[in-house]
Every structure is written in structure tokens, then in C-alpha cells.
């Protein structure tokens, strides 16, 4: 049963926000909520768009546009990444903030969802220029962020250095050090062990569980990973360590394939030297889109949104898809995968490792007491696998897809918190 509200018809080229709203509408319909609840949950609580002027190293000036969207506060302060990408736009940030709300609720982390971004290509700027643009953006959104309000984290195009600049800018304005303003910081500034690889570790835990759920042994199973960045790089390494044969990997420059399996540690060293997976010895170059259609046991889309859609879904041959990226699968593709018997583990579960360890980092910062790497990894595995079992059980009992089950569970928790709190005034 589906709730299709005005303006929710899926466009021929649906945006991530369209997809997010369709997923929400389906969950609202199953839960029996009215249109008022849908409107409340589909609309961000707060948005800020800012001009970000940048003084270039040569003395010239440029202007960039930045956004921060806070989708929901019903279960706690907003939480979400900050991305630097030339593709950033307000609707994309809105969709990502909504997915973050569901992710936090599903993993029972006491946050609402947020997201931020600047429409900038960080590869075209020096470190000094990126520092200036980060500090200016932070100063512009200063009124709406804080450890009790909204806690940014790294995303595409940003890293722990970016978080250090945000922390310092915020702290200077407050007059004292505030380590809880961001997560994903360097360890030396109060970051958590395991945060840098947390999303990838979470993806791996879920991927191995999903393979086992389908009766596929990890040892010797085949996998393709789209994206060799923050998530895909470490996920490929962890999968290979678990015995999975990673046969295909892509990045923004192209894709490579070896049926016998790629030497992922050697590929990692090669990319550090050359900047791309293309040209790795012992591999053949394939089209980037063809990687998504390889005959493999496991496909991990770990790059950007919307890569699995109506145009290519019928050609996807993977047995299991584990979403390392946010929103890689359109609603139409979801239906095709369900009809073809492909198990899809949704992003709000599969890539939630980052927000879990971000929560751990925030807790540690607030307590001024830090855990060791083994403690963090153990707690991460427990939270990820507990959520996996809950979603699988819920889906089985109600004959739902894993995405529908995960979204319904998350939406119900957020709506319940909202209804219990009530409306003010």
C-alpha cells in the first residue's frame, strides 16, 4: 500500500529528495498516519543558505554557496555530515538530512538528522583556501550549530582536518575549547578511535551478515565495490580480509576488473601513488557503469546517489546489494530488485557505522573520557548487528523488503517522539 500525495509522482529523472519523500510516503501509509504527519516529517525544521566568499591565494575573490539543513529534532540534537562537492544543491542536502534522521532513529542514536554542503570542488583549491572557506562557512552557520544543537561530521570532500578547523572556529567564538561541536576530529583533538573507518566497518559487518542470510560463505564470495573513497576504500580492504574476492572496483576516473580477485592492499598503495584505480597492474579497464552490472554475489555502491535506477536495474546481477552510499537506489529500481529476488540492504542501516561512532565520539567528548580502539569496534559491531537482526525479523514477520522494514521502524520512532512531545504552543 502506498500513500501518493500531491507532488509525489515519480518524475522521469527523480531527484534524491523525490526518492526520500516516496520512501517516507510508503512508510506513513503502512503505519496509518495522516497527511499532517507526512508533511511534518517530509519538511525540514530549519534551513540556512549562506554566501561563502573566499579570498584565493593569488589575491582574487570567489563566491560559493553553502547550505545547512536540520531535518528533525524530536529525538535529540541534529547530526550530519558536511560535503564539499560541485554537485551540492539544497534539495540534495534536504534528502540527505532526512535519511540521516531515519538512520539515527533506526540505530537508536539520540539524534535528529542534518546535513550541510558547499558547492565547491575541493580538488581545485589549496589547503589554505579550503581552510579559509571552511572557517567562513562555519562563522556563517554559527548561530544554528553547537554540541546541543547540531553536530557536523566529515562527508564527501571533507575530512578530519576540516572538522578541526570547524572546531577551532567555533571554539574561538565561544572563548573556550568545545570538542563536542564536531565528530570525526583528529585523535589529538578529542576524536574517537575507529571513527575514520567506522562507516566501512559497519558496511562490512552488514555485508557479511547479508551474505550469510542468503546462504553464501564469505570465503570466496565475489564482490564489486563502486567508489574507492572514504567508504569504498576501507570496505574493500575489510571485505578482502574476510576472504571475499573483490573482483571489481571503480572510482571517479574509471573501473577495473579481475575475475580472480584484485589485490586490494596493493591497489590502495597504487592509488596513493597515481591518484586512480585505472591502470592497476593485473586488471582490465571496464566501463564504470558496467561495474554495477557484474555477475557477483555482492555489490556495494559506495559513491553517490542515484546510480541504480530504472535504466540499469534490470541488468544488475548481484545477489546482495549493500548500500555504502546514501540514496544509491531509486524507488523504481527497488521494485525491480524485489521482483528479481535481489536482497537490498538500505543505506540507513548499511552505512550507519559512521553515525554510531560519531555518537560514541560525542559521548566521549562530553565526558572527557576516551575508549580504546577495541572497545569502539566491539560496541560498533554490537549496535550494527543488533539493528540488522531487528530489521530482518521485522521484514520477515510483515513480508516487507529490508528497506521498507527499516524505514517504517525509523519513521515510527520519530513520529512517536513527536506525538509524545506534542505541538507547541
Residues labelled as active-site residues: 115
Query: How far apart, in whole angstroms, are the C-alpha atoms of residue 8 and residue 3?
Result: 9
Query: How far apart, in whole angstroms, are the C-alpha atoms of residue 193 and residue 365?
Result: 12
Cα torsion at 135, 140, 143, 146 (round to 10°)? -30
CA angle 244, 287, 257 (to 5 degrees): 30
Q: What number of residues does the chain have?
A: 425
C-alpha pair distances (Å), 133 with each of 67, 120, 141, 167, 394: 13, 10, 12, 14, 45
Contact by Cβ (8 Å): 321, 345: yes
Choose among 307, 331, 328: nearest CA to 23.
Answer: 331
Cβ-based neighbour number of residue 156 at 10 Å: 21
Give Cα 396 to chain centroid, integer Å: 25
Amino acid at each position: 500500500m502506498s500513500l501518493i500525495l500531491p507532488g509525489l509522482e515519480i518524475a522521469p529523472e527523480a531527484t534524491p529528495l523525490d526518492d526520500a519523500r516516496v520512501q517516507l510516503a510508503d512508510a506513513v501509509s503502512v503505519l496509518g498516519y495522516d497527511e499532517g504527519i507526512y508533511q511534518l516529517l517530509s519538511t525540514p525544521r530549519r534551513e540556512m543558505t549562506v554566501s561563502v566568499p573566499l579570498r584565493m591565494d593569488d589575491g582574487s575573490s570567489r563566491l560559493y554557496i553553502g547550505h545547512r539543513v536540520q531535518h528533525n529534532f524530536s529525538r535529540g540534537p541534529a547530526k550530519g555530515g558536511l560535503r564539499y562537492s560541485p554537485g551540492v544543491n539544497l534539495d540534495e542536502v534536504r534528502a540527505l538530512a532526512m535519511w540521516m534522521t531515519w538512520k539515527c532513529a533506526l540505530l537508536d542514536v539520540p539524534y535528529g538528522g542534518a546535513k550541510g554542503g558547499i558547492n565547491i570542488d575541493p580538488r581545485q583549491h589549496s589547503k589554505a583556501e579550503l581552510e579559509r572557506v571552511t572557517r567562513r562557512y562555519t562563522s556563517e552557520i554559527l548561530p544554528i550549530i553547537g554540541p546541543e544543537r547540531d553536530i557536523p561530521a566529515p562527508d564527501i570532500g571533507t575530512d578530519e582536518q576540516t572538522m578541526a578547523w570547524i572546531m577551532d572556529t567555533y571554539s574561538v567564538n565561544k572563548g573556550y575549547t568545545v570538542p563536542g561541536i564536531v565528530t570525526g576530529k583528529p585523535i589529538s583533538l578529542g576524536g574517537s578511535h575507529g571513527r575514520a573507518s567506522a562507516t566501512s566497518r559497519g558496511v562490512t559487518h552488514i555485508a557479511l551478515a547479508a551474505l550469510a542470510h542468503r546462504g553464501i560463505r564469505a570465503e570466496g564470495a565475489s564482490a564489486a565495490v563502486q567508489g574507492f573513497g572514504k567508504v569504498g576504500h576501507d570496505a574493500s580492504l575489510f571485505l578482502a580480509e574476510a576472504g571475499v574476492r573483490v573482483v571489481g572496483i571503480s572510482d571517479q576516473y574509471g573501473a577495473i576488473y579481475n575475475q580472480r580477485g584484485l589485490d586490494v592492499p596493493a591497489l590502495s598503495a597504487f592509488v596513493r601513488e597515481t591518484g586512480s584505480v585505472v591502470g592497476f597492474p593485473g586488471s582490465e579497464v571496464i566501463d564504470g557503469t558496467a561495474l554495477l552490472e557484474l555477475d557477483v554475489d555482492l555489490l556495494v555502491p559506495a559513491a553517490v546517489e542515484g546510480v541504480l535506477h530504472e535504466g540499469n536495474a534490470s541488468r544488475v546481477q548481484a545477489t546482495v546489494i549493500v548500500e555504502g552510499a546514501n540514496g544509491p537506489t531509486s524507488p523504481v529500481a527497488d521494485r525491480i530488485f524485489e521482483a528479481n529476488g535481489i536482497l537490498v540492504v538500505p543505506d540507513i542501516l548499511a552505512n550507519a557505522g559512521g553515525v554510531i561512532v560519531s555518537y560514541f565520539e560525542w559521548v566521549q567528548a562530553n565526558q572527557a573520557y576516551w575508549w580504546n580502539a577495541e572497545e569502539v569496534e566491539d560496541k560498533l559491531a554490537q549496535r550494527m548487528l543488533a539493528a540488522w537482526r531487528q530489521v530482518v525479523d521485522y521484514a520477515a514477520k510483515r513480508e516487507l523488503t529490508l528497506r521498507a522494514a527499516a524505514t517504517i521502524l525509523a519513521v515510527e520512532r520519530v513520529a512517536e517522539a513527536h506525538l509524545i512531545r506534542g505541538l507547541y504552543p
